[in-house]
Structure 1
Amino acid sequence: MAKDLLLEIGLEEIPAHIVTPSRLQLEQKVVKFLEENNLAYETVQSFSTPRRLAVRVTQLPEQQEDTQEEVKGPARKIAQDDQGNWSKAAEGFVRGQGLTTDAITFKELNGVEYVYVTKHNHGQKTINVLSGLKDVITSLTFPVTMHWANYDFEYIRPIHWLVALLGDEIIPFSVLDVETSNQSRGHRFLGDDVTITHSKEYEAKMKEQYVIVDPTERKAMIVAQAEQLAEKNRWTLDLDEKLLEEVTNLVEYPTAFVGGFDEKYLSVPDEVLVTSMKEHQRYFEVRNDQGMLLPHFISVRNGNDVHLENVIKGNEKVLIARLEDAEFFYSEDKKLTIEECVDKLKHVTFHEKIGTIYEKMQRVGLIGQVIGKEVGLSENELTELKRASEIYKFDLVTNMVGEFPELQGIMGEKYALLQGETPAVAQAIKEHYMPTSSEGDLPVSDIGAVLAIADKLDSVFSFFTVGMIPSGSNDPYALRRQTYGVIRIIENKNWKFPLDQLQREIDAAINADDKKYGIQLNSGQAEVIDFVKARLRQLLLTKDVRHDVIDAVISAEQKDLTKLFSSAAIIKNHLLDKEFKPSIEALTRVINLAKKGQEQSAEVDVTLFENDAEKELNKAVNAVEDGFKDKTMAENYQALVDLRPLIERYFDETMVMVEDERVKTNRLNELNRIAKMALSLASLDLLIVK
């Protein structure tokens, strides 16, 4: 008769951001445990609250199925002597399998006979197998851990109770001094201990004790309650998904409520108010139908609505204290000038091995101009970029950013506008931090995009110069994320971006005046290029580009990053074309042969041609080569594909590696012209064609 499994780990409150990943990890490990132990099941459902992680599995059998497996032993010549007597190796092998030599059979494998035995395994009772869930519990991993009492064992939080049931039977095991039982615990303040007699009653029994164990149900309750409050007050509510997830994992029994604050605080920028509510208090802001922020908020209590008015007052009091600080900081910051703030940055260290933030700004100003000219900014845009780079970090020494670091850039834009800077400069100050996460929003303005690239590349060049290169999972200065941001911005803007050329130009300009810029750059060009290409690989993987296509593109003899994006997209889109396989095979043959003449001159002497195939190929290559630099990557790809019939005829009628050195060299030079164009698209010889 099939039975259901319930496993619950009772803990002290887990940090909200760890709850969901831990729930999913527990579910995955329980499923893996069941599969490894040949226990079939019907469904799996996981549960979590700040104080518990749980899994329920339905329709487990009463015992494992009997199984048999064929086990391979030593070779026959080792297992038996010439008289057919069993060796110690054979006897030891069967003894290890719990059998005798009578069970031995022989089978041939790759021309050699081996000993085999068939081992019959009698299925154990499921409840006995499930005692191994102890190892599942202790194997869970967390980003942070702690140990308690006198135990060496570490976990996310101390374990206080364990529920382990198969049907109505307790699965006996213990973790440290906590033994399994059918006793769970209700809400910390509203509930009592509760006896779970069967896994099917888990949710209902816990709900009686003010615990909603299903996070999906808990989230739905929060959404419904918040939307009801918003509708009642005729507010517009946009529930931030990240905050909603966090609040869901902060409570066991949610009750939404409305709080408010004095309208005078609305004089402070919206971003400050929202940050105070969202990031610091976990409140949802509300707006009117015109999108204007209102002096109210919606929050969620971990409990019922009894004495809710006291909870509201307490939450309002805490928020008002923060808003008082924000109002004061905003008022004080408006008394500062940008020049005063920039001057302070001369004494603020960016990194002890690199220099000050002021010196970084000087370098970024130079880098920004180099990049801005390369990507085609107008003279007016370059002037705006210059001004932005001179001041873009000034808000780091303001009171507001000191209190709310997450507002850096945002307050820079606000304060810059208040002090008369142009909208373009102010916007660039805000956008230079973008993207703030791997998939975060990108800068909209061209000036902001160039400033963001310049700031990030300066960090990469500087840290590489002082030998602080990310290795393994160690990346304390987020250089991988910053470089990935550069890649995404360049792709988004579709700018020409020859990184190696730009890096040489930047290094030379900065090194010409290291007193001004604070450092002599020697970042190691090859290392930086490889580092950037690794991030390019990361981006292409998110676009479902095949691994061999990525390898071919990244290995291309192409200096412009944007053209590499194009190459990947073009090849991906043509993989299923009828002419793709023969075209790549023809071009790969050209590339491989051309390698034998790479040291030769690229000049082709038409007087050495011996057949029409050579002449026709030369004429076609001349035509392709003439417009290659000015055409799109898609046009160049098609031009190379169109060469296929001529290449095939050429190889049918022409022997390249002839004895006459002049003719051989001439033919290799011709092929090298094609190879160079092909390799600027991708290392086509790395593509897997079937």
Structure 2
Amino acid sequence: MTHTMLLEIGLEEIPAHVVTPSVQQLAERLKEFLQEQRLDFEKLQTYSTPRRLAVKISGLADQQPDVEEEAKGPAKKIALQADGSWSKAAIGFTRGQKMTPDDIYFKELKGTEYVYVKKFIAGKTAAEILPDLKKVVAAMNFPTMMRWGNNDFKYIRPIRWIVALLDQEVINFKLLNITTGRKTQGHRFLGHQIELSAATDYPQSLESVAVIADAAKRKTMIKNQIAKLAQEHDWKIVVEADLLEEVNNLVEYPTVFAGSFAEKYLQIPDEVLITSMRDHQRFFYVRDQQGKLLPYFVSVRNGNQQFLANVIAGNEKVLTARLEDAAFFYQEDQKTSLSQYVAKLEHVMFHDKIGTMAEKMQRVGYLSQSIAEQVGLNSAEQKDLQRAAAIYKFDLVTGMVGEFSELQGVMGEKYALLQGETPAVATAIREHYLPTEAGGKLPATKVGAVLAIADKLDSITDFFAAGMLPSGSNDPYALRRQAAGIIRICLEFDWPLAVKPLLALVASTAQQQPALYQKIQPAHVAEATEFMMDRMRKQLQFLQYPFDIITAVAAQPRNTFTTITQAAEVLQVHRQETDFKQTIEAASRVLRLTRKAKLPVGVKVQPALFENETEAKLNQAVATAKTTGTLEEDYQQLQKLREPIEAYFDQTMVMSPKQQLQQNRLAQLKQLAKLFQPFGDLTAINVK
């Protein structure tokens, strides 16, 4: 016999972005609860709206399976007294197991006999177990929590009702002053309270009171209605997945509608219009078949068609007010020159512990020019970069960005073009923010990419020097994202940049321009180095390389990001080869010896001190080896060196008691170890 169980938590409206992860969490907690209780089930179905989180379990077992357990007690010598009677330890053990000493038997474990008893535990029924669902409900975690009334209990929003049913019967428990029952609420305006006669009735019963509890069904309704609207008007309605998900979690009964705004607002840049519609009002924007933005928007009402004209008019009024502000700022911003905006940045703080935005731009200007030389930008590109670095934050003090902060960089590009800047400079102003999210879009131009690297590198070193390091999940200045952005940009453009040289560049610039920098201590550089290399390891994890290879190749912060990534790929490709183990072991032996070696400065290899043929052969092999080829060629040379290395160690005692011989051999191995540097620390690779 199986059952259907329903658990619904009724709440005040939940923020849209929390709905889906919350119902997924509830489902996972319920699944774990049932597994812990040894209650099998066939299917789990989630339901969610802004006012409810619900899970329906089908095919739930009637009871736990019976269990026969073996419980281990004290050793036999402790359980029995000298006269053969049971000791207090044995009697106490059996009492704790709700049994008697008559149930004891002995078993040997690792040479010692112990007391054991067998217990038969009858399985509890589902009806007996399920009142503990209270713990599942109470244990839920949310990104923001609140208290209400006089309670210390915290939740995402106040709980208003709880439905808990096992088939037709209520599962009784109480949380705060709320007792479980079978009453649930329909749509706030179109529905009313109803009683569920059985758990199986849940989604159908709610539809009768204007609630589509199945989020997937609700989303399909929205998409179908949008598609119908687009077909009727020959529109291309841009339906972004994130916005659709958010809108879906704002409504219980969706009705799609279209509104319009005055064509005069189309003179405003598309990005401003789209931001106003999509980000601020949660509207879908509309294009014609050629991709031109049209003066229409599409939205979703939480209700039916009744009085829809009033809803449309209200939404149009709100959007028009916002677009009117945007039009005003767009016109007013163009009355101020770029130089005037840049001058204002002298009074805008980047951070009160670091300095002004104008000072940051100066620092980034120095850094970007140095980086440009390293990555080979031509003179025209360097000229554009210098100009972009001198003005790239100007739009932060424009009225438009003050009102629409999401448009920083975007409006910088627009206004720069309007005031006669070259397209390369304008594009770089927009691109320096990229990527704006994990895995997000990268700069497409070299000028924009260098400016982005310099800006992010400056931010990381600024905050580290000020002692404001990310910790745990706390990263208020998005330094992890910025470090990852530097790495991804370098990999995208295949630029020969590495952590150590980049941070050395910042330290050098700080010495040359002390007025612009806080004092950068060696400890700050060390912390920033490890921070950046940790992001490099995360990038390699994302690319799904094994942990030991990641540890190996990311051990050398002087290697470029490209070299590190290519080294991981080469090692991974060759890992399945039969001689991989011996090759890595040979190299690792060299690295372990040289890592500990302390040689006086200036010690060089003297062939005259060689005592056997293997020393000479290894020296010759090292002399002919090159590390200027590809990583694949470097690995092939490493393979060729394996045999001379093995022969060398077979016949040569490196740590000779004669100091001159020992130093000569260590110098030879150090020279050899340099050939392995592109692969990082090969000793970290597991070849067992």
**TM-score normalised by structure 1 residue count:** 0.96
Structure 1's unaligned 5+ residue stretches are none
Q: 1:657–1:449: structure 2 CA closer, same or farther, 3 Å change rule?
A: same
1:604 is aligned to 2:602: no
Instruction: Give the Cα–Cα distance (whole angstroms) in 1 for the partners of residues 85 and 342 of structure 2.
Output: 91
Mean Cα displacement is larger for which, 305-314 or 102-111? 102-111
- Amino acid of the structure 2 residue aligned with 1:247: V
- The equivalent residue for 1:634 is 632
Cross-structure match for 2:183: 183
Distance 2:629 2:407 in 1: 44
Which 10-residue stretch deviates more, 374-383 or 387-396?
374-383
- The answer to whether the 8 A contact 1:602-1:670 is kept is no
Distance in 1 (alpha carbons) for counterparts of 2:189 and 2:451: 52
Aligned-partner Cα distance in 1 for 2:547–2:77: 45
Asked if the contact 1:277–1:284 (Cα under 8 Å) also holds between the matched residues in 2, the reply is yes
In the alignment, which residue of structure 2 is the partner of 1:668? 666
State the partner residue of 1:519.
518
Secondary structure (helix, strand or coil) at the match of 2:134 reads helix
Tell me the alpha carbon deviations over residues 27-60 of structure 1, each in whole angstroms, 9 at most, x when there is no partner: 0000000000000111111111100001111111
For the pair 1:499 / 2:499, whether they are aligned, the reply is yes
Kindly indicate whether residue 620 of structure 2 is the aligned counterpart of residue 619 of structure 1: yes
Aligned amino acid, residue 487 of structure 1: I
Residue in 1 aligned with 2:548?
A: 548
Matched AA of 2:115: V
- For 2:168, the equivalent position in structure 1 comes to 168
Shift of 1:292: 0.7
Over 3 Å counting, the alpha-carbon distance change for 1:74 and 1:365 in structure 2 is farther
Deviation at 1:105, TM superposition (A): 3.0
Q: Is the 8 A contact 2:466 2:518 kept in 1?
A: no
Partner of 2:295: 295
Question: What is the identity, as a one-letter code, of the residue corresponding to 1:262?
Answer: A
Name the CA shift for 1:194/1:401 in 2 (closer, same or farther; >3 Å). same
State the alpha-carbon separation in 2 of the partners of residues 236 and 79 from structure 1: 82
Taking structure 1 as reference, are residues 305 and 597 closer, same or farther at Cα in structure 2, changes over 3 Å only? Answer: same
d(CA) in 1 for partners of 2:173 and 2:596?
A: 69
Distance 1:77 1:545, change over 3 A: farther
Q: Distance in 1 between matches of 2:110 and 2:458?
A: 59
Percent of counterpart pairs with the same letter? 50
Given that 1:370 and 1:502 are in contact with CA atoms closer than 8 Å, whether structure 2 keeps it comes out as no
Match in the other structure for 2:247: 247
State whether structure 2 residue 683 is matched by structure 1 residue 682: no
* 1:347 CA displacement: 0.6
Correspondence 1:99-138 to 2 at 5 A: 99-138=99-138
The CA distance in 2 between the partners of 1:58 and 1:642, in whole Å, is: 63
The letter of the residue matching 1:569 is E
Pairwise CA distance, 1:103: 2.7
CA distance in 2: counterparts of 1:448 and 1:666, whole angstroms: 50
- Show CA shifts across 1:524-567 (max 9, x none): 21111001011111111111111111111222364433321222
Tell me which residue corresponds to 1:7.
7
SS in 2 for 1:643: helix
The CA distance in 1 between the partners of 2:54 and 2:312, in whole Å, is: 32
Residues 558 and 679 in structure 1, CA contact (< 8 A), matched pair in contact too: no
Give deviations 1:271-315, integer Å, cap 9, x for gaps: 000000001111000101111100011111111111211111111
Query: How many angstroms apart in 1 are the aligned matches of 2:246 and 2:193?
Result: 26
- In the alignment, the residues of structure 1 paired with residue 327 and residue 502 of structure 2 have an alpha-carbon distance, to the nearest angstrom, of 44
Contact in 2 for aligned 1:511/1:519 (Cα 8 Å): no
| 8 Å contact kept, 2:413–2:427 | yes
The answer to whether residue 495 in structure 2 is matched with residue 481 in structure 1 is no
| CA deviation profile, 1:490-517 (whole Å, cap 9, x unmatched) | 22222111332332232232333333x2
- Give the match's secondary structure for 2:299: strand
CA distance in 2, matches of 1:555, 1:264: 59
- Letter of the 1:124 partner, please give it: K
Contact 2:73 2:114 in 1 (8 A): yes
Report the counterpart of residue 63 of structure 2 in structure 1. 63
- Relative distance call for 1:114 and 1:386 in structure 2 (3 A) is farther
Does the 8 Å CA contact 1:583/1:644 hold for their aligned counterparts?
Answer: yes
AA of the residue aligned to 1:76: K
Distance in 2 of aligned mates of 1:544 and 1:75 = 50
Shift of 1:686: 1.0
Aligned letter for 1:229?
L
* 2:14 match: secondary structure: coil
Unaligned runs of 5+ in 2: none
- Asked if structure 1 preserves the Cα contact closer than 8 Å seen for 2:533 and 2:557, the reply is no
Query: Aligned equivalents of 2:106 and 2:558: distance in 1?
Result: 59
**Residue 417 of structure 1 corresponds to which residue in structure 2?**
417
1: distance between equivalents of 2:650 and 2:512? 57
Distance 2:75 2:554 in 1: 48
Question: How many angstroms does 1:635 deviate by?
Answer: 1.8
Could you tell me how far 1:665 is from its partner in structure 2?
A: 3.1
For the Cα contact (< 8 Å) 2:501–2:558, is it kept in 1?
Answer: no
> SS at the partner of 1:291?
coil
The aligned residue for residue 579 of structure 1 is 579
CA 1:113–1:497 in 2, change beyond 3 Å: closer, same or farther?
farther
Match of 2:215 in 1: 215
CA-based RMSD: 1.7
- Residue by residue over 1:447-505, the C-alpha shift from the partner in whole angstroms, topping out at 9 and shown as x without a partner, is 11111111111111111111111222222211112112112112222211133233223
CA deviations 1:355-405 (Å, max 9, x no partner) are 111111111111111211111211221111111111111000111101100
Cα distance, 1:429 vs structure 2: 0.5
CA contact (8 A) 2:71 2:117 kept: yes
Alignment of 1:285-434 (within 5 A): 285-434=285-434
Partner of 1:530: 530
Is this contact kept in 2: 1:46–1:56, CA < 8 A? Answer: yes
Give the conservation status (yes or no) of the 8 Å contact 1:10–1:162.
Answer: yes
Distance change >3 Å, CA 491–CA 89, structure 1 → 2: farther
State the one-letter code of the partner of 1:488: R
> Are positions 1:147 and 2:147 aligned together?
yes
In terms of mean alpha carbon deviation, does 615-624 or 359-368 score higher? 615-624
Alpha-carbon contact 2:432-2:452 (below 8 Å) kept:
yes
**TM-score, normalising length from structure 2?**
0.96
The Cα shift of 1:71 comes to 2.5
Going from structure 1 to structure 2, the CA distance change for 1:576 and 1:450 (only over 3 Å counts) comes to same
- One-letter identity of the residue aligned with 1:387: R
Matching residue's letter, 1:265 = Y
Deviation, 1:82, is 4.0
Q: Shift of the alpha carbon at 1:679?
A: 3.9
> Are the counterparts in 2 of residues 602 and 673 from structure 1 also a CA contact under 8 Å?
no
After superposition, the Cα gap between the structure-2 partners of 1:676 and 1:85, relative to the gap in structure 1 and judged at 3 Å, is farther
Task: Give the aligned residue type for 1:188.
Answer: R
Partner in structure 1 of residue 458 of structure 2: 458
Q: Secondary structure at the match of 1:417?
A: helix
Residues of 1 paired with 2:39 and 2:193: CA distance?
Answer: 31
Q: Which amino acid aligns with 1:520?
A: K
1:602/1:672 contact within 8 Å kept: no
Moved more, 534-543 or 138-147: 534-543
Aligned position for 2:49: 49
Q: CA deviation at 1:596?
A: 4.5
Give the CA deviation at 1:518. Answer: 5.2
Higher mean alpha-carbon deviation, 183-192 vs 639-648, is at 639-648
Write out per-residue CA displacement over residues 8-35 of structure 1, whole angstroms, 9 at most, x where no aligned residue: 1111100000000001000000000000
Q: Distance in 2 between matches of 1:122 and 1:548?
A: 48
User: CA shift at 1:140, angstroms?
Assistant: 0.5
1:80 alignment partner in structure 2: 80
